[in-house]
Amino acid sequence: ARLIEDPDYLNEEEVTREAQREEYEAMLGRYYTRDYQNVLLDIDEVLERDSINFYACKYTLLRAQCVGGLTSYTGDRTPYFEALQGVLGTCPDTEEAAFARDLMRALGVELGREETKPEEGEEEEEEESPFKVQPSKEHYFAIFVPVGRGNGEEIKAQTADFNSAFYASKRLKVTSNLIDRANQVVLTKSFRNSEEAMGYYEVFTSNREDLIDINSSGYDLVVISNENYVTLFKNKDIQGYMKFFSEQYLSAK
């Protein structure tokens, strides 16, 4: 119907597709120069900017490969596996998903277990967890630091520097508080929803240059909705939330 009413519509679509192709290929070229961090951030901006992008699945796969590049020297490939799993969820039945699936098999990831785990986690959470699945709620990024094992103010400063370098336009705020006598939390806020927060989580946890001290420390890093944060502050159950986060955010990717 649109084509009948507007004969130039097809030409407009072709122009858009060509412009998006050129932008994607430029991004791919930068990836090959190993500019992983900046390419990853620029991909997030493109996907947020374009409600329709003909190369969205290619960008999703390229984003996963950037995460893989950032984690290739650390030995911890978990963020990479999670990003590849995200390709399967976002772009099923595409050549990008097939490529991601082949990569995961080659890397020894058991796809069957990864795919069935989210459903089991959801059932357990509904019955047992005081925390709620709230993907559209405002979210925070949290670093749990055991008292005596780390300097909360230093972690707060490093996180603020990272935000200034890579997320200045979002005007994120970093605070620190005691959860209980044994644990403090460094909080970055806020993000519009869980998807935006997890994008930040992937970039933060994949950074092994500016944030090497934090990411190699063994601290628990999570994203959490504003309402679940209130619940956590009341019940102090950090391990309970870590289980919830693993099931509902990491396994569900």
d(CA 92, CA 235): 39
Q: Which CATH number fits domain 133-250: 1.10.3470, 3.30.450, 3.30.190, 3.30.70?
A: 3.30.70
Any idea which fold 2-109 has? Answer: 1.25.40
Burial of 10 (0-12, 13-18, 19+ CB in 10 A): exposed
d(CA 92, CA 87): 7
| Structure confidence at residue 248 (pLDDT) | 92
**Band of the pLDDT at 8, cuts 50, 70, 90?**
low
d(CA 90, CA 198): 14
| Structure confidence at residue 125 (pLDDT) | 44
Whether the predicted pLDDT of 114 surpasses 80:
no
What proportion of the chain, given as a percentage, has pLDDT over 90?
50
Predicted TM-score (pTM) of the model is 0.56
d(CA 224, CA 244): 10
Give domain limits for the chain: 2-109, 133-250
Phi, psi of 34 (to 5 degrees): 70, 30
Q: What is the mean pLDDT of the segment spanning 34-49? A: 91
pLDDT digits (tens, 9 = 90+) for 119-159: 444 444 445 789 999 999 999 999 999 888 888 889 999 99
- Summary mean pLDDT of the chain: 85
Q: What is the mean pLDDT of the segment spanning 162-175? A: 94
